Amino acid sequence: MSDLIVLPLVLPLFGAFLLPIVMRTSISIGAWIGPAILAYGCWILGDQWISGTTLPFSLAIGGFAPPMGINLYIDSLALLFAFAVQLLGLLFWPFKIDQETARRQALMLLLVAASTGLALSGDLFNLYVFYELVAVATFGLIAASGGSAAYASAIRYLILSGIGSVLTLLGIALIYSQTGTLNLAHLAQLAPEQLNNKLGLTAFLTILIGVGVKAELFPVNTWVPEVYATATSRVSAFLAGLVSKLALLIILRLLVLIFHQPEAIQVMLVLGILGVISGELAAWRAKDMRRMLAFSSIGQLGMIFIALAIPEQGGLLAVLALTFHHLLIKSGLFMLADGWGGAIEKLRGAAKRSPLAAAIFVLFSLSLIGMPPLPGFWAKFTLITQLAAQTSPLYLIGLTVFLLATVIEAAYLLRLAALLYGPAAKDTPIDTLAKPAGLSLATASLFGIGLLAAALFIAPVGDLLNHVAGQAANTDLYINTVLAGTGGSQ
Amino acid sequence: MRNLTGLLFAGGLGFMLLAIASGLDFGAPPMLVGGAIQAAAPQETGATNIVTSVVLGYRGIDTLGELSILFAAAASAGLVLGRRHTTAGTLTEGGFVLKHGGAMLFPLLLTIGFYIIFHGHLTPGGGFQGGVILAAAFFLPLLARPGARLHHGMLSVIEGFAGSSFILIGLAALSEGEAFLQPMLVQDALGQLVSAGTLPLLYLAVGLKVGAELAGLLSHLAQTESEV
Amino acid sequence: MMPDISLELILYTTALGLISIGLAGVVLSRHLFRMVLALGIAEAGANLMLVLAGYRWDAVAPILTTLGEHPPMVDPVPQAMVLTAIVIGVGIQALAVSILIRIRQRYGTLDRSQVVERMDAEIADTASIPRDVSQESPLGERPLPSIPDSTVEIRGGHS
């Protein structure tokens, strides 16, 4: 049964290759291929979770035992992410039928497959390959979604992303020169002796900056506002909600398994703090909803980087809580921006036009700010207690910035909420006000329901996350699971 | 100012990396994984070209990812450039030598392309290199006659079936109870043309896909250029 | 003191030099096409670095020519990785060029600051908000060069 875990990764690729041929003969059959594959992927992964297969386990692709071959490593965290990828792929499926449907849907399938690969793969270079596949599919989807500005933002994103991939490749080359292996578990075994030096630190920093491009890390996130403002809401939601988190997952794995240098953690903390400051201030200044959300996303990811810099299991718990919380909220908010994407001023009084959308917006905002009893409060509370427990002054700066950012966040989100519920401008009849599209509103409502459910069952969700964090933080478990029986094949 | 900082940054980065890299043990790599693969590959995959064993066997899923990237790039380029085939032949035709030279080279390039693909498990070369030569075979006539068209429908059928047969070969192993992409039918005929089990089939799929993909990309670019 | 220049120093300098030249090129260029080319140079450097990771003195290519005993061979894994990385690079470059062709048709220029300025204007326009002053342009109004009519077209245009 566990062999089938490779299908959610491979079937979308298969579907993407065949889609243009099928669409050539029948669009109506072709239109069902993608959703069917993704639904099947959801089913396999969900079944894996429910049937209680002993996690974690490792699956050698091609039957070559790691570290010689590539393996998939499936623990609760990877499974959770893989499931989220397939589900969100389904929710954000580009249904629109026109002459480019085949290509757009094929790209979406490739994006889903690559994201699943990022969640599951246990090999450094294989992660790089999937990371690049995510990038290329993303460029296509952005460029396909709009006018000239979309082309311009896509090329700027492509160039920045290209710098990132050169740096990542350089880091991989350095690691391979030093250790002679690419398997994460094998690297984790060798790291204390061979990578605990300047070379290891350099390799980590180059990979951090490289992968940080997608994780919206501070100096390499200039693409964020441009891309989210020009791409369609669905693409933006998938990128901000999921892809950024998957890039973060790579960094998390590398930190937990391989790189333990204090310098690495400090650099990340500083970049995270700068990200929070720059993101939140820019979001406060933003005059349209899409860019406000984009900048706020930079700030949120900065917070997650701060949490990632806490070298204990508690920090990991905070990372996971913030990550999944942000995943729900940002995806939902970007769905609302489908229709409300324009200037904030134009949304004056829009609550009357679409009360449900306004209510969902307020719900998301309150959780994002951290209002109890919504899940955002628990996520932020975990981070605050963890930060306060640290002794180094840098963490206290992080705590201060974090609290300040929350205030700014509250300021701009509540300002928009007040506008929504305020009176409409005098000369605009309510019918002419903007309103989120029906399908997007329904999707946003789903995220809202998910958020409320998490608030209701906060105790079991917390336990689950704690369990997931415990499993992810266990380096020995990872090494033993992957290299069991091969003895590391020294 | 921006230029100066940029230069200083890049230079500084280069020197810092050089200082660190010079500490590496050059010429005597650890070869932990590489050594183990060298020892085991001929028996496990039956290919004399060990790089092929790595590309299609040990790291087969990387190759699948790489094919997908090419496919994604071609699909994205198609989305960006659109499907307009209106203004044809605005560029001047090539001369006599160019046109007929191109036509004569076509079968030769086709032959050598397939030769390189089919010997990928024995000698240097393989699906990617052969695929590029195949793409060149189809693209060369386009350079000689800018008005000519490649049959895009045909290309997309080839690339679709080649890509999906790569995955089907992998899934066949899965349905036999083995791991995805596990080499099957490995004969005991090291060094023969018919050896290495499914690897030459995989390389044929790779070659056709790369060829179709690149030919499609190039002709797309060439057509768009003649529209400007 | 005369530093002894070894082969390895030359090779590493070449690889890292290519990366530095490429990155500097991306940062310094004012033309989008040159930025894409510079990216190609940096990528070549990274690939070279990867090849060097598997190089061995006195070793042959990892292809068996005789059965039984064989001379030491270089590490095959980096060679496979470079093959992958090169193909990835080709795909991305081709996509970049096709996007550039479209930008050139729409905006009539590939100058970085002009393209950014137009993009900002367009984003502000679709969101119907007043435009921020671009950080790269001098203060005050600067007329945008007009787009030639023949290059304006509506495919994929978004209302």
Q: State pLDDT tens for residues A112-147.
A: 999 999 999 989 999 999 999 999 999 999 988 767
Provide the pLDDT for residue A477.
Answer: 87
Tell me: pLDDT of C2 over 50: no
Provide the pLDDT for residue B227.
Answer: 57
How far apart are the CA of C146 and the nearest CA of chain B, in angstroms? 17
C49 vs B contacts (CB less than 8 Å): 21
Q: State pLDDT tens for residues B34-70.
A: 888 888 877 777 778 888 888 888 888 999 999 999 9
Provide the pLDDT for residue A168.
Answer: 93
Q: State pLDDT tens for residues A440-489.
A: 888 888 888 988 888 888 888 888 888 888 888 888 888 888 887 544 33
- Residue B193 makes CB contacts below 8 A (sequence gap 6+) with B118, B119, B122
Residue A385 located in a structural domain: yes
Residue A38 located in a structural domain: no
Residue A234 located in a structural domain: no
Average pLDDT over residues A334-350: 80
Q: Please, how many CA atoms are within 13 Å of residue A1, restricted to the half-sphere of its CB?
A: 12
Residue A210 located in a structural domain: no
Domain ranges of chain C: 8-58+74-129
User: Would the CB atoms of C129 and A154 count as touching at under 8 Å?
Assistant: no
User: What confidence tier does A170 reach under pLDDT thresholds 50, 70, 90?
Assistant: very high
Provide the pLDDT for residue B172.
Answer: 84
Query: Who among C19, C47, C157 is closest to A147 (CB)?
Result: C157
Residue A436 located in a structural domain: yes
User: Would the CB atoms of B49 and C62 count as touching at under 8 Å?
Assistant: yes
Tell me: pLDDT of A366 over 60: yes
**Residue A67 preceded by cis peptide, ω within 30:** yes
Tell me: pLDDT of C147 over 60: no
Interface contact B37, partner C, CB < 8 A: yes
A172 vs C contacts (CB less than 8 Å): 50, 81
Residue A298 located in a structural domain: yes
Provide the pLDDT for residue A346.
Answer: 78
Q: Which domain holds residue B13?
A: 2-227
Q: What percent of chain A has a predicted confidence (pLDDT) above 70?
A: 97
d(CA A262, CA A200): 12
Provide the pLDDT for residue C132.
Answer: 57
Average pLDDT over residues A204-220: 89
C126 φ, ψ to 5°? -65, -30
Overall residue count recorded for chain B in this entry: 228
Tell me: pLDDT of B1 over 70: no
Task: For residue A448, give Cα distances in angstroms to A237, A321, A336, A380, A441.
Answer: 14, 17, 11, 19, 10
* ipTM surpasses cut 0.85: yes
Tell me: pLDDT of C152 over 60: no
Specify the number of domains making up chain A: 1
Tell me: pLDDT of A164 over 80: yes
User: Would the CB atoms of B36 and A68 count as touching at under 8 Å?
Assistant: yes
Specify the number of domains making up chain B: 1
Average pLDDT over residues B173-181: 78
Contact A317, A382 (CB under 8 A): yes
User: Would the CB atoms of B21 and C12 count as touching at under 8 Å?
Assistant: yes
Pick the CATH number of C8-58+74-129 from 3.20.20.60, 1.20.1070.10, 1.10.287.3510, 3.20.20.120: 1.10.287.3510
Residue A399 located in a structural domain: yes
d(CA C28, CA C26): 6
Provide the pLDDT for residue A462.
Answer: 87
Tell me: pLDDT of C149 over 50: no
User: Would the CB atoms of C95 and B26 count as touching at under 8 Å?
Assistant: no
Size of interface A-C (CB pairs under 8 A): 140
Of A222-236, B17-31, B68-82, give the lowest mean pLDDT range: B17-31
Q: Where are the alpha helices (DSSP H) in chain B?
A: 2-21, 32-45, 50-52, 60-81, 96-118, 127-144, 152-175, 199-227
Provide the pLDDT for residue B226.
Answer: 57
Residue A416 located in a structural domain: yes
Q: Which residues pair with A288 in a beta bridge?
A: A343
Q: State pLDDT tens for residues A82-107.
A: 999 999 998 888 877 777 788 888 99
How does the average pLDDT of chain A come out, rounded? 86
Contact C48, C16 (CB under 8 A): no
Q: Which domain holds residue A301?
A: 261-456
C73 φ, ψ to 5°? -120, 155
Tell me: pLDDT of A11 over 70: yes
Provide the pLDDT for residue C136.
Answer: 46
Provide the pLDDT for residue C150.
Answer: 47
Average pLDDT over residues B66-92: 76
d(CA A120, CA C135): 41
Query: Who among C88, C107, C118 is closest to A132 (CB)?
Result: C88
Provide the pLDDT for residue A126.
Answer: 93
Give the best residue of A99, A132, A167, A169 to mutate against chain C (max C CB count within 10 A).
A169
How far apart are the CA of A230 and the nearest CA of chain C, in angstroms? 7
Interface contact C154, partner A, CB < 8 A: no
How far apart are the CA of C151 and the nearest CA of chain B, in angstroms? 8
Average pLDDT over residues C41-56: 89
C82 vs A contacts (CB less than 8 Å): none
Provide the pLDDT for residue A488.
Answer: 39
Of A126-140, A390-404, C114-128, give the lowest mean pLDDT range: C114-128
Contact A135, A123 (CB under 8 A): no
